[in-house]
A = this chain, B = another copy of it.
Amino acid sequence: MPLKYLLPEDQLPSHWYNIIPDLPSPPAPVLHPGTLQPVKPDDLAPLFPMALIEQEMSSQREIPIPEEVRFALARWRPSPLFRAVALEQKLQTRSHIYYKYEGVSPSGSHKPNTAVPQAFYNAKAGVRRLATETGAGQWGCSLAFAGQLFGLAVTVYMVKISYEQKPYRRSLMRTWGAEVFASPTDKTNAGRTILGQDPRSNGSLGIAISEAVEDAATHEDTKYALGSVLNHVCLHQTVVGQEAQAQMKLAGEYPDVVIGCHGGGSNFAGIAFPFARDKMHGKKVRLVAAEPTSCPTLTRGVYAYDFGDTGKMTPLMKMHTLGHDFMPPGIHAGGLRYHGASPLVSQLVAAGLVEGIAYPQRACFEAAVLFAGAEGILPAPESSHAIKAAIEEARRADAEGQQRVILFNLSGHGHFDLGAYDQYLAGQLEDFEYPREAVEASMAKLPKVG
């Protein structure tokens, strides 16, 4: 029995899959933060090049991947799909567990799948510099690498707690030529406002987004790039699920359940949307998004219009949210510390097509250490949420006397997160309860829309 399923380079998908035309109803419009009217392409032009704005709003089911992008992705794609035989043996489960491994990319996660096309389209539009935020640093590294490929300067606002916890991520961005600041900074109005309220702020993705958006909006030659949440980002990630479908076919199985960890939604969308397409066409498959109990957007948030950032600079999106003012506890899965969610994933959750589930961080590290010992891959703390969910699915199936085929996305490796593993092994890692009061306070500040 093979342990892994590889695809040749010419089976790198030729198109991205756009889920919008397959949704049960059209997506709720994105609203201008000033007028509360639906945004038009021109409203987004200060932030993004027109090719990406078109993808953001496209109703075309399949969008061709430019040859230059496929060539860049082919450095590591198609990524491998593994059968977790050793993990199955450790669990003594009768279920079959598969994982798609995105840690083989330059930055070690799924993020370059969208960094590369974003850099490509910006370079083509004559943009000179990209401003962005990063949580754990995976996205910032990915954009730094992609920027270098296409000759773009890159400025990264890195959430301060991650900047301090993951110094090697900064170094990697700098090796790829990016400039990196700990957010909140004193370089933007958004950052100065937060520092005025709390000079020791740990930062959050919401704050860092405000800073990057402000940087882009106030500099002629600079655009903004986002690593998750938006439709075109989810679109670019669908190479993951499309490859996984071809690889599961090689394995001769179809998953009963498909799992991804969930922060802004792009990793989950990447593995799940191509299977959601099957599901909307009648196939029986469960889609599970795993998130942290400390930032439980899908499982505890409301489905409502909210800002994407703390500074209320972004358009309003209808999404699952804990409120744009919510400051998640400083867990090590920095990439999952976001108050909102992808509008597309949110709509699927609201429609009952996707299930959310939340886990505390210690249980996820326990799952990650078990996985590392069996499979030999040290997972990112974000990805460990998917591992935990997969293990729980297998255990539940065994308890029910069932055998299931479980597929999850191992979104990245944890080579830059060993400080967190150290703390876990030393018994020093904190679990955070659901921060009910903070969420309620933040929810009270949701914008009142229609």
By a beta-carbon cutoff of 8 Å, the part of chain A in contact with chain B is 2-4, 6, 8-10, 71, 74-76, 82, 86, 104-106, 108, 112, 145, 148-149, 167-168, 171-172, 174-177, 369, 372-373, 375-378, 413, 415-416, 418-419, 421-422, 425
Least Cβ distance of A400 to chain B in Å? 30
- Does A171 lie within 8 Å of B376, measured CB to CB? no
Which residues from chain B contact A148 at a C-beta distance below 8 Å?
373
Q: CA A422 – CA B172 in complex, angstroms? A: 9
Q: CA A112 – CA B373 in complex, angstroms? A: 14
User: How many chain copies does the complex carry?
Assistant: 2
Q: A3-B74, A413-B415 are in contact. List 17 more A-B contacts (CB 8 A).
A: A2-B9, A2-B74, A4-B9, A76-B376, A86-B149, A106-B377, A106-B378, A108-B415, A145-B373, A168-B168, A171-B421, A171-B422, A172-B378, A172-B418, A174-B421, A175-B421, A176-B373
Q: CA A425 – CA B170 in complex, angstroms? A: 12
Q: CA A167 – CA B417 in complex, angstroms? A: 12
Of residues A106, A376, A377, which shows the largest number of chain B Cβ atoms within 10 Å of its Cβ?
A376
Least Cβ distance of A188 to chain B in Å? 25
- Does A75 lie within 8 Å of B373, measured CB to CB? no
Least Cβ distance of A419 to chain B in Å? 7
Q: CA A167 – CA B421 in complex, angstroms? A: 12
Q: A106-B377, A174-B425, A175-B372 are in contact. Are A6 and B3 (CB under 8 A)?
A: no
- Does A4 lie within 8 Å of B74, measured CB to CB? yes
Q: CA A419 – CA B172 in complex, angstroms? A: 10
Q: CA A2 – CA B10 in complex, angstroms? A: 8
- Does A378 lie within 8 Å of B4, measured CB to CB? no
Q: A3-B9, A74-B3, A74-B4 are in contact. Are A378 and B175 (CB under 8 A)?
A: yes
Least Cβ distance of A177 to chain B in Å? 7
20 A-B residue pairs with Cβ-Cβ distance under 8 Å, sorted by A, are: A2-B8, A2-B9, A3-B74, A3-B75, A4-B74, A75-B86, A75-B375, A76-B376, A104-B104, A105-B376, A148-B373, A167-B418, A168-B168, A168-B419, A171-B418, A171-B425, A172-B418, A174-B421, A175-B369, A176-B372
Least Cβ distance of A87 to chain B in Å? 11
Q: CA A425 – CA B105 in complex, angstroms? A: 23
Which residues from chain B contact A422 at a C-beta distance below 8 Å?
171, 174
Which residues from chain B contact A171 at a C-beta distance below 8 Å?
418-419, 421-422, 425
6 closest pairs, A vs B, by CB? Answer: A106-B376, A171-B418, A415-B415, A168-B418, A171-B422, A3-B74
Least Cβ distance of A445 to chain B in Å? 39
Which residues from chain B contact A2 at a C-beta distance below 8 Å?
8-10, 74
Least Cβ distance of A380 to chain B in Å? 12
Which residues from chain B contact A104 at a C-beta distance below 8 Å?
104
Q: CA A276 – CA B147 in complex, angstroms? A: 41
- Does B76 lie within 8 Å of A418, measured CB to CB? no
Which residues from chain B contact A376 at a C-beta distance below 8 Å?
75-76, 105-106, 112, 145
Least Cβ distance of A358 to chain B in Å? 25
Q: CA A112 – CA B376 in complex, angstroms? A: 10
Q: What residue of chain B has the Cβ atom nearest to residue A175's Cβ?
A: B421
- Does A168 lie within 8 Å of B415, measured CB to CB? yes
Residue of B8, B167, B168, B172 touching A6 (CB-CB under 8 A): B8
Which residues from chain B contact A373 at a C-beta distance below 8 Å?
145, 148, 176-177
Q: CA A108 – CA B108 in complex, angstroms? A: 12
Q: CA A312 – CA B174 in complex, angstroms? A: 44
Q: What residue of chain B has the Cβ atom nearest to residue A8's Cβ?
A: B6
Q: A75-B375, A106-B377, A376-B105 are in contact. Are A418 and B175 (CB under 8 A)?
A: yes
Which residues from chain B contact A82 at a C-beta distance below 8 Å?
75
Least Cβ distance of A144 to chain B in Å? 10
Q: CA A168 – CA B172 in complex, angstroms? A: 15
Which residues from chain B contact A112 at a C-beta distance below 8 Å?
376
Least Cβ distance of A170 to chain B in Å? 8
Q: CA A44 – CA B133 in complex, angstroms? A: 57
Q: A148-B373, A373-B148, A418-B168 are in contact. Are A175 and B425 (CB under 8 A)?
A: yes
